[in-house]
Structure formats: structure tokens, C-alpha cells
Structure 1
């Protein structure tokens, strides 16, 4: 065989061999590309939690395609520290990661389909890693160490933001969150709230314990707001809320509110929390019969007649009795024979005689006085003099636990209560309290051989709270709790 022919045959053989080998190489390469990819996790607790979600046992690996199949994951309270590995859940829309030990959010930055994240109660100081999640609608971050919410400017679809219990002072970034409907900011130190009033769709606002006392700033929200929480803010006046007639729930506990007249037109209120204030007159609530949850513990309420036409939502929930009306720590006479007791039973409210204090009620011009619902006859009636309200010192003081004596020769009354001794002479503006002079702008008066003192004296020197009810010309004297 000549060399040429030999070369041709060799070429054919080699060519045939290579042609037959090519598909094998290509197949192996394809197999390598398409081989299942195992996901590795830095945090063993996260791995175990994901295995459980995927119904895998501890020995089974988690593949990338498994992660891609996840759309909603609840990882509550799993002791998770690192989220590394979660970035492969590229189709994730909702994830609950609350009550863990997470600090670094960077593995979430690529999950651009996320609509809702719950990160409450972790160890987060920065949320900048969430800036790329432009589809995010719900974000919960309460109970962390966050001091900035500037990232909100990059989240145009945000409807629900919860950042209670953080270190936030500046909320100006919220002015760009035009779709925000629910905002929770309690237990922060908010410097100003101007940006809140620029949120046209806001229906739920929680600014409890944020040191905000001026409610006039919230007036622009009157048309839309349905739920408002201003608890723990040293508020004394509710007049700036008068226009919020669409409110269905108002939470204003732990303030210094006395007058609730501004609530009188809030016909849509169904839940009202006014615990731990200074409220004594419930008459403004008389026509608000839509209220079925009313919390009035620790006030100065002595009469609940204004509530007689209400119906409250008292019911059992998982075996516990939940009261729709609570009145512990007030001044109600709840002895079993009283009208207040009978009405409270009818309303299925929570209150007990043992946790109520005593209140006196004296009526200008009337010789009938009341301690609770018990009536007493006095020799002379309280009166007005020089724009001052005068009450009989013996009757009032003795029912506050004090001892009263009269020195006729000195024309002086002496009142002793615990470690305090007060001496005050008729027509004298100076009272002597434990040997020290205390000046008043008015004096005690003698009328029909009875000593009368100004109500201010009762308030300041006998350590009581005193209020006047113009509609009934009544002076209310509340003993110290």
C-alpha cells in the first residue's frame, strides 16, 4: 500500500474515531452543567428549619431547585444567626424570621420578589441591604437596634411598616412612602412627625411612647385615619382629635387626660383604651354606643351611669374570660347594694370593691353630701365666695382620715393626718404646716359656727385630687390611692 493510500485510510479511521467520541464528550459536559447543585448553609439551625419546611430528613441534602420552589417560609424562633443560603430562594415572596439572632441581612438583597418580611426581635442595626427589594409591601422590624429608616426611600410599594422598639429619631424618609397604610413607631424617640402627615393613605398609626405631646400635628390625617395609638406620651388635651370622626379605635392610656369631651362626636369608635389617666366624667361617652371594648382602669371614675345603654364584648377566649369593660383602680362604690355594682353586673364589666378608692361629692348649696353612694346630712352647705369654692373642713377632712379640732379662743382649726399637722386661723392667709408657713390667696371662713376652707386647701395640704362638675355644681374630692 503506498504512502498516500495509507494516509487516507488513517485519516478516515481517526476521523471516524473522533466523530464517535464527540457525542460522548458533549454528553458528559452537559451532565456536569445540569447536575443538581447542593446548597450549603453556615447556620445549622437555618438548614434544619429549611429541611423541615421541605419535608426532608436531616441526612438529605438541600438542592438549589428545592430553594427555588419556596414562595413562603415561616422560620419563627429557630435561633438562627446567619441567613447565608437563603439567597437561593429566588422565588420567595413572604418570609417570617422573627425572634431569631440575625444581624446581617445581605443574603436577602437578591430576593427581589419579596413582598413581605417579618424580622421582629432580632439583632439588626442596619437595613440598607433591603434597598434593592423594590417590590416589598410589608416590613416588620420591631425590637431591634435600628437607628435609620432611610432605606424606605427605595421601597416605593411599601404599605405596612412596623419599627416599634428601636433607636429611631429621624422619620423624614417616610415622606416618600406614599402607599403607606399602616405605620407602627412606638417606643422610639421621634424628633418630629411632619413627614407622617404627608402620607395620604395612612389608616393606622401607632406613635405610643414617642414623647409626642402636641396632637395638632396629626390634624391633616383626619379624613383617613381609622386607628390611632398615642399611649404613653404625656398628653393632657384631646381637643386636636375632635375632627377624627372616622376613628374606630383609639388607644391613649398612660397620659394625663382629664377631659374626654372631644371624643363626643366619634360615633364610629368601637375600641377605646384610656387606662391610667385622670378621667372622672364619662358623660361624653353616653351616646357612643358603638363602643364594645372600653378600658378605664386606674382613673378617677366614680359614676358609670353614662354607660347604661352600652353593650360590651365580654367573652371567653381559649378558656380565659376577656372583659369588654374594665374599671379596676377607680372610685366606684361597688358594694353589692349599690347602683354602680348592679349596673356593672348588667354590663358584664370587670371591677371589684377591694380595688376601688373613696370619693366625696359635695353639691354647692346643698346640705346633702355623699361618700360613694352613701348620703350624709351637713349643718351648712358648700358655697361660692369671691370666685372660690368653700367646703366644710370637718366633714371633708375626717372622711379623708384626718382628725379635726377647733380652738375657739384662737379662732383656729387644727388638722392632723399621719405625720402632718396643719393650723389655720380664721381670716388668715397663712397656714402653719408642721411649723412652717404656707401662704394662700384666700382665708378660712366661719359660717354658722362651722369652719369652711377653699377647695385648693383640700387639694394641696390634704394630698387629694379635687374636680368641679359644672353641670351638677358638684365638688368631687378623691382620696389619695
Structure 2
């Protein structure tokens, strides 16, 4: 009887054991079948490139197990339109798909091991399919048609995010990406960037050609920020950058910057791009001798003496000469006999003499005036009267290409330049400009039989730029470009 019961028990135990093994065996069998299943691609280009990576011939099938063996692929510029089939490459860590014609990203949602993906220059509108890729550290999306980046909230490990040249207006989602070190969102329609201040690890920030004008929101980034791009934003005031002494590179071309004094303590600066601004005084750069690349084209620079102790990185690259210092389209006197020319040669910089304009410099109380580096003797020195700086109208106007006549009987000066004619009587606040009366808050003065006008009106009436340098009591008058 005991043997009989024992046999029954053993039969039951064995039965249970076999019952448990059956699903396991079935699962293994299913996995084997799947691994050996041929992958179907919708895009012939994708299929072709995958076969190249796998060293398969045209007539060989691509199996799921083949795709599972891939860990990194580069499919740059292959004309790919559909990613269908790529979802089986579940062990991919890095993939480059830039410069294709991809719109639908849904096949990528299965690639949860991805750490880096380049999707630049495609036709992508939505990136919601990337929400499951929580291990992503690098994401490149420039040159698409993306409007929303909310998916970033679900990518906690993101360190590098590039989304230049899209249609993004709101970047609040970035406040959750606290590990970000590199952020590029240039050429979008972004006006509010407050979320950026919540990124304590940010070292590289690119905000060029957006719609920002207030830099104060960037102040909290001072401790870590090394590179900043703010070009093309109509910025005029750099004072909010004063505390960013760790900056090694600043790109701020195509703005309205006049005063670069806030940069004077940035001793680590090595690259500075200030092309196409309104800068005329380089004195704040005198002590920043670590700068090796300085781009100052299209400003109002007339003196480069502050750079005399600098050394710039001018070198050949693939046969082309690349200048570390560029000063084309400024107001430098680069005739071969001038100090500016000699210094520019010593600095191995590029200025192009034919692409320079003329600047006048008059000094309050001095009868010596300058056009470029040529000196002229004035009969009477410029002076200050009632807090206004007065300059001799004939000298200034004629060196700006105008014609000046004086009617002694009427005590009237007439200035003609192009289609503009100005008649103005000494001690009268009303001038006649092209036949129409124009009222000013002050009048021309006569001193030692010479007519003087307030320097501000030189700018208004002759459409030129005027600046005053307090330290040397100099008036700078720039020829119209």
C-alpha cells in the first residue's frame, strides 16, 4: 500500500514539473523562431545599408538576430525615408540618421538601450516617439520642423541636446533636464528662456538668432558656463554677463553692442566674435591676452592700440590662411606708413585697407584734429558750452563729403550733401532743412569768426555716427558706411 501511494505522489510531482517546463520550452522555441524571422523593410535604402553593415549579399535575408547584433550604426545622408524594420535592432546604443528624409520615428520607440541619436536635417515634426528612450544622453534634432520638445521631460539622463533651426517657441520642458551640459536651440522663435537657469551643469549654450534681448536671466549660469552664443538677437547691453568670468568663448555678432566694458575681467576668454556691432573702443580687451581668436569686422574701430600685447592664432588650414584677428569694414587708417598698419602687421591680422572708412577725431580744447592718422590744424578748438560739445562745422562737414558756404551778411551757414541742404543762422534754434523749418533746442555759435554747431546735430543732420570718449575728451565722428 505504501509503495502504491509513493508511486502516485511521484507521478503527481513529475506531472507538475513537466507542466512548468512546457511554457518555458515554448517561450524558448518562440524566441528562436523570432530570432530567425526575416525582417521586412519598407525602405530599400535602409535595407541596402543594413546589409552593408552586416556584410550580407543582396540575395541574403536580414534576420532579427542580425539586427540584435548591432550596437552602433551610421546612416548619414542615405536618402532613407522609412525606419520600419530598425525596431529589431534592440541593442543599439548610438545611431546617426542625420541628413535623410525621415518623418516617422515610431520604429525607434523599441530601442530603449539608445544613449545617443542624431536626427539632424530630416523632415521630423514630432518627437513623441522618443519618450520611451529614457537612457538617452545625447539627442540631436537640428534642421527639422519640430514645434514641441515636451518629450525632454521624460529623458532624465540627457546631457547633450541640439535643436537648432526648428520652429520651437517654448523651452519650459528643459527645466527638467537638470543634467544638461550642452544646449543648442539657435534659430528658433524663443523669447522666454527662464527655464535655462534651472540647469546647474550647463557649460555650453547656443541661443543665436532667437528673440531674446534680456541677458539677466542667464546670470545664475555664471559658475559653470564656458561657451555662449547670443548672435543675432538685437542685444545692446552686456552688463548682465559681467560675472561670467569662466567664459572661454563668446559669440555675439550681429547685435547692437557699443560698450564691451563688461568683458574686461574675462581673463579666460580665448575666442571672441563681435562682428557687425557698433563697437569703437577696444580698451576693455587690453588685459585679456589669452584671446587668440578675435573677430571684429564691421564695427567702428579706429584704434587697435589696446591689442598690442596680444598674440593671435593665424594659420594655414588645408591651404587657406585663417586669421586669428579680423578687422575688415572698420575705420582704421591702414596706409602703409601708419601706426595702425604696422601694428596690424605685427599682430598678423586681416584688415583690408580698401574696406576701411574714415573717422574724424577732435579733442576738446585742442586745435589739432585728425582724420584717420593724418593731423590738421584748426583755427579754433572745439569747446563745451552749456553742457554741449561744439565742433567747427566747416572742418567736420567737408571731411564728411559735404559742401559748406558762409553768408556773412545773414550770419548763415549752408551745408549741402547729396540731396540734403541745410541753412542755419547763428544764434537761431530754427534750421531750414530742404526748405522745411526744423526746431532744435540749441543754436549754432560764432567763435573767432568760425561757426560751431553742437556735435549731436552732426549726427542728426549729416546722418553719421558720433561718439564721445570722456577719458581723452575726444569726439569721434564716423563716416557713413
Normalising by structure 1, what TM-score?
A: 0.92
| Alpha-carbon displacement from aligned partner over 1:120-148 (angstroms, at most 9, x marks no partner) | 11111100000000000000001111111
- CA spacing shift, 1:154–1:299, aligned 2, 3 Å: same
Match of residue 327 from structure 1: 327
- CA spacing shift, 1:270–1:32, aligned 2, 3 Å: closer
The SS at the match of 2:250 is: strand
Contact kept? 2:34, 2:64, Cα under 8 Å: no
The SS at the match of 1:243 is: coil
Match of residue 82 from structure 1: 82
How far has the Cα of 1:32 moved from its partner?
Answer: 8.2
- In 2, the alpha carbon distance for the partners of 1:206 and 1:371 equals 40
- In 1, the alpha carbon distance for the partners of 2:322 and 2:102 equals 35
- In 2, the alpha carbon distance for the partners of 1:473 and 1:70 equals 70
Match of residue 429 from structure 2: 429
Contact kept? 2:333, 2:340, Cα under 8 Å: yes
- In 1, the alpha carbon distance for the partners of 2:375 and 2:474 equals 14
For 1:178-189, list aligned pairs within 5 A: 178-189=178-189
- In 2, the alpha carbon distance for the partners of 1:261 and 1:201 equals 27
Match of residue 359 from structure 1: 359
| Alpha-carbon displacement from aligned partner over 1:412-453 (angstroms, at most 9, x marks no partner) | 000111111110000011111100112111110101111001
- CA spacing shift, 1:312–1:436, aligned 2, 3 Å: same
Match of residue 473 from structure 2: 473
1:106 corresponds to 2:106? yes
Match of residue 346 from structure 1: 346
Match of residue 463 from structure 2: 463
| Alpha-carbon displacement from aligned partner over 1:5-44 (angstroms, at most 9, x marks no partner) | xxxxxxxxxxxxxxxxxxxxx9xx8998387322221111
The SS at the match of 1:189 is: coil
How far has the Cα of 1:47 moved from its partner?
Answer: 1.3
- CA spacing shift, 1:409–1:31, aligned 2, 3 Å: closer
- In 1, the alpha carbon distance for the partners of 2:173 and 2:235 equals 26
Question: Number of residues paired by the alignment?
Answer: 454
1:384 corresponds to 2:384? yes
The SS at the match of 2:45 is: helix
| Alpha-carbon displacement from aligned partner over 1:90-109 (angstroms, at most 9, x marks no partner) | 11111111111110000000
Q: Identify which range, 412-421 or 59-68, moves more after superposition.
A: 59-68
- In 1, the alpha carbon distance for the partners of 2:333 and 2:301 equals 10
| Alpha-carbon displacement from aligned partner over 1:297-342 (angstroms, at most 9, x marks no partner) | 1000001010110011111112211111111110111111111111
For 1:145-294, list aligned pairs within 5 A: 145-294=145-294
Match of residue 48 from structure 2: 48
How far has the Cα of 1:54 moved from its partner?
Answer: 2.4
- In 1, the alpha carbon distance for the partners of 2:478 and 2:168 equals 40
- CA spacing shift, 1:31–1:186, aligned 2, 3 Å: closer
How far has the Cα of 1:45 moved from its partner?
Answer: 1.2
- In 2, the alpha carbon distance for the partners of 1:384 and 1:392 equals 12
| Alpha-carbon displacement from aligned partner over 1:446-476 (angstroms, at most 9, x marks no partner) | 0111100111111011010000011111100
How far has the Cα of 1:381 moved from its partner?
Answer: 0.7
Q: Identify which range, 189-198 or 381-390, moves more after superposition.
A: 189-198
- In 1, the alpha carbon distance for the partners of 2:113 and 2:33 equals 26
- In 1, the alpha carbon distance for the partners of 2:35 and 2:442 equals 96
RMSD: 1.5
Match of residue 439 from structure 1: 439
The SS at the match of 2:103 is: coil
Match of residue 126 from structure 1: 126
How far has the Cα of 1:167 moved from its partner?
Answer: 1.1
- CA spacing shift, 1:230–1:30, aligned 2, 3 Å: closer
- In 2, the alpha carbon distance for the partners of 1:167 and 1:364 equals 52
- CA spacing shift, 1:32–1:450, aligned 2, 3 Å: closer
Unaligned runs of 5+ in 1: 1-25
How far has the Cα of 1:150 moved from its partner?
Answer: 0.5
Normalising by structure 2, what TM-score?
A: 0.92
How far has the Cα of 1:63 moved from its partner?
Answer: 2.3
The SS at the match of 2:240 is: helix
| Alpha-carbon displacement from aligned partner over 1:345-393 (angstroms, at most 9, x marks no partner) | 1111111111111100111111111111111111111111100010000
For 1:29-40, list aligned pairs within 5 A: 33=33, 36-40=36-40
- In 1, the alpha carbon distance for the partners of 2:218 and 2:255 equals 17
- In 2, the alpha carbon distance for the partners of 1:223 and 1:143 equals 31
- In 1, the alpha carbon distance for the partners of 2:57 and 2:392 equals 82
- In 1, the alpha carbon distance for the partners of 2:35 and 2:147 equals 45
- In 2, the alpha carbon distance for the partners of 1:59 and 1:277 equals 61
The SS at the match of 2:471 is: helix
- In 2, the alpha carbon distance for the partners of 1:320 and 1:355 equals 21
The SS at the match of 2:173 is: helix
Unaligned runs of 5+ in 2: 1-25
How far has the Cα of 1:190 moved from its partner?
Answer: 1.5
Match of residue 95 from structure 2: 95
Match of residue 5 from structure 2: none
- In 1, the alpha carbon distance for the partners of 2:271 and 2:31 equals 64
- In 2, the alpha carbon distance for the partners of 1:338 and 1:445 equals 35
How far has the Cα of 1:62 moved from its partner?
Answer: 2.1
- In 2, the alpha carbon distance for the partners of 1:454 and 1:352 equals 33
